[in-house]
Structure formats: structure tokens, C-alpha cells
Amino acid sequence: MSDSLFFSTSKQLRTISQKNNIDADMLEAILPPQRVIEVSIPLQRDNGKIEIVKGYRSQHNNKRGPYKGGIRFHESVSEDEVISLSLWMSLKCALANIPFGGAKGGVVIDPKTLSEKELKLLSEGYTRLIFDVIGPLKDVPAPDVNTNPKIIEWMMNEYISIAREKGPIQKDIYAAFTGKPVSQNGLPVREIATGFGGVIVLMELLQKLRMEKKGKNIAVQGFGNVGFNFSKFAEQNGLNVISVSDSKGAIINNNNKPLDIDLVMECKRKQGYLAGCYCVGGVCDLRKGREITNEDLLGLPVDILVPAALEKVINEKNMKNIKAKIIVEMANGPITPAAYEYLTKKGVIIVPDILSNSGGVIASHIEWKQNMESSRYAYEESLAELKNTLTQAVETVWQTSQEKNIPLREAALVVALLRLVG
């Protein structure tokens, strides 16, 4: 029990609630998931054999609106994990003040072991088994780890075909899933939303902290959707991204010159990895930089460190090497509780994941609204709404942190919990 993720998440929330006078009974009432579904998906493999694959959907809380949360395909998915992540989604949506509750789905599979046909069959099979409990006003799934707009399109199409068998199709049916391809009623801004949102949050906080924005040095771990978009918008806002990494390692330019983010991405796409993509001022040149490890990146003497890849990368083993003054958590849970305690005591400002990476779910809310209204949000309009929602969230967290004299992470959780129990 004590090594359960849900147990440790609940424990953390109990401590924060007690410290901040949140009613214990009311907290206990919102901690457990309202419903957890376990499904057994029959999957016909290409060799004709049928395998049973386990899946889950945890619907944590719908007090503030339909359940909302991604579906991940991973061999380590467990009931405990989806329940904890669904609780986290309730908190994230409450903090962003969008009318969604929290949910999370998972299928216990390594998708790399499946052919495209098998992956499609699995996505459709999972949708069939959760069909009755999802829908635009019930529960709205989205992509997560190892799932993407293509998989969501398969799920959406399966959902529509089952709905059609049951009766006339409602106009708002596309609001049953978010993270759809743009050509299938998706939202163009969704692609950049999480990284873009992280930079909005950072810029707002730098202003509140009265810190100079221009010229701050940044290192970004992870150069996927989130890390790339964060780096790109940070660059556009005058910050210097001097080091980025992928799973194979990190690159840094000589003399800490800022990387040219678009060129680095173009170089990575061409060759398949980052090493050698030392691109400065419009030119990539092997003599301009060097490779370092992901651990080296975490310990760089930068102003801002951005873990945007995996969970628990900053932990008891490496926390003493961290030199950054600000850490922006773009990945989910990149700092372990022990490292969090240590770094906070040292005065490092930690921008919590439920605030800094909430741009994705805020964009999902805009996608959901456009499908509910059978309308289309223009790109600029979506960006403006995303920015406005995030700015308000930062303001509330900042005010709470100042009034109660507590760190940003604790303030974010207090705001979210009060909205959930209230």
C-alpha cells in the first residue's frame, strides 16, 4: 500500500491541506476516484491469435464538468497509476479554472510491439469497451504517452460508428475526444499549446519576481513536442536556450551561445539525433559546440532549467548538482519529493507542473468548445484565450503564494484543492 502512487499522492495532499486549513473530511471526500473501469480487450494479432489486453479508465471527479484526461499505451500502466494521474487531472483542470473534471485511461501494452493494423484494432477495441461511459458531456479522452492524433482519430471514428448504430448522430459528437487531427475537427494550436503555455507562465513569473527577462540562459531536457515548442517560444521571447537534449544526450554551444532552435530541429529531423546540431545564428557548424550527457545538462550553471522529458529526473542522486535558480517543470513530476524539499530549502524557485504544463489541457478545452458549438476558433483567437487563461492561473497562484508565504507548488495545490472541495 505505502509504495502505491495514489497513497503517496494522497499523503502529500493531506499534508498540504492540514497546513493550509482545508477541511480534512472534505478532502477525504474528493480524494478517491468516483469510478474506475477495468476492461479486457480482445486483440487479434496479425498471426490470427487472440490476446487479451488489459485497460483502465479512471474517472476521478466530475463536480466541475465532464471528466477529462488522456489515454496512455504503455507496458507499465496500472490501475494505481491511472487513478493517481486522474486525481492530478482534476487538480490541473481546477487550477486552470476550466469546466472539466479529471480522468485518465491506460492500456497495458508496449505499442512498439504492434503492427499498425493491430494498433488500430486495439484502439477501436478499447473505445468499444468504454463507449458507455464517455461522451462530450460525460468524459472526454485525449492523447497521452504513446498515443497521438492518429490513434484518437481511430477512436473517434469507432465512437461515431457505435453511436450511429444506436440512433441519430448528435451535432456535437466530435467533442467526445480532443487532440484530434486538425483535418478531423482538431485545433491547430493544440500542437504548440503545452510548450507555448510554459513560456507564458515563465514570462509572467519573471515579471512578478522582478527579474530581467531578456538574456536569461536556459537548458531544456527533452526536445520532443514540449521541449521543442518551449525552446522556440523562449527564443522568441529573448531568452537564450544554450543547451537541449534528447534520449541520446545533450548538445551545448561553445561560449554558451544561444542555439538556433528551428535549425537545431531541422538538423535533428534530417539525421535522427541531436549530436552535432550546433546551430548558432543561422549556421550549423561542428566546430561550434560539443556533446554532454543528460546529467551534465541538469547541472549546467544556467538561470533556468526546464525538464521536459521524463518523470523523477531530478532526484536525491543529482539534486546537489543543480545550479539553476528557477526550474520550470514541463514534464509531469520531474522532481522527486526529496529533491523538491532540498531545492526549495536552497531557495530554488520551482514552477509546478500542474501550472506550467497546463497549456495542453486548456487548448483541449478550446477544441471541445469549438466542437460543442460546431464552430472553428481562429489560430490567433485560440492563442489569446490560452494566454489569458494561463495568465489568470499564474496570478491566482502568485497571490496565494504571497499571502500565505508558501512556495508556488504548494500555492497551486491549495488553489486547486479549494476549488475542488468548495
Q: Which of 36, 211, 263, 310 binds ligand NAD (CB under 6 A)?
A: 310
Which residue is at the shortest CB distance from ligand NAD?
224
Q: Which of 81, 118, 246, 303 binds ligand NAD (CB under 6 A)?
A: 246
Looking only at the bridges linking them, the beta strands covering 50-61 and 102-108 are: antiparallel
For residue 367, the one-letter residue type is E
Q: Which of 223, 233, 278, 398 binds ligand NAD (CB under 6 A)?
A: 223
Q: What's 377's DSSP letter?
A: -
- Report if residue 81 touches ligand NAD, rule: CB under 6 A: no
Backbone angles phi, psi at 307, to 5 degrees: -75, 115
- Report if residue 86 touches ligand NAD, rule: CB under 6 A: no
Looking only at the bridges linking them, the beta strands covering 304-307 and 326-328 are: parallel
> Which CB atom, from 176 or from 250, has the smaller least distance to ligand NAD?
250
Q: Which stretch binds ligand NAD (CB under 6 A): 48-56, 57-65, 218-226, 380-388?
A: 218-226
User: Can you read off the three cell numbers belonging to residue 228?
Assistant: 521543442
Binding residues for ligand NAD, total number by CB under 6 A: 20
Could you give the CA distance from residue 355 to residue 392 in angstroms, rounded to a whole number? Answer: 11
Q: Which of 13, 199, 201, 309 binds ligand NAD (CB under 6 A)?
A: 309
User: Can you read off the three cell numbers belonging to residue 392?
Assistant: 489568470
> Which CB atom, from 84 or from 221, has the smaller least distance to ligand NAD?
221
> Which CB atom, from 125 or from 195, has the smaller least distance to ligand NAD?
195
Q: Which of 62, 217, 294, 389 binds ligand NAD (CB under 6 A)?
A: 294
Write down the catalytic residue from 68, 92, 104, 216: 104
Looking only at the bridges linking them, the beta strands covering 279-280 and 283-284 are: antiparallel
**DSSP-assigned beta bridge partners for residue 213:** none
User: Can you read off the three cell numbers belonging to residue 189?
Assistant: 494550436
CB of 315 to ligand NAD, least distance (A): 13
- Report if residue 76 touches ligand NAD, rule: CB under 6 A: no
185 and 371 Cβ atoms separated by less than 8 Å: yes
- Report if residue 360 touches ligand NAD, rule: CB under 6 A: yes
Q: Which of 13, 96, 218, 331 binds ligand NAD (CB under 6 A)?
A: 331
184 and 178 Cβ atoms separated by less than 8 Å: no
CB of 222 to ligand NAD, least distance (A): 3
Contacts of 48 (CB under 8 A, 6+ apart): none
User: Can you read off the three cell numbers belonging to residue 356?
Assistant: 506550467
CB of 192 to ligand NAD, least distance (A): 9
Q: Which of 84, 178, 221, 240 binds ligand NAD (CB under 6 A)?
A: 221
Q: What's 112's DSSP letter?
A: G
Rg, the chain, Cα only: 21
Is 138 in the active site? no
Could you give the CA distance from residue 140 to residue 69 in angstroms, rounded to a whole number? Answer: 7
Positions touching ligand NAD (CB under 6 A) are 194, 221-227, 245-247, 294, 308-310, 330-332, 357, 360
Q: What positions carry a catalytic annotation?
A: 104
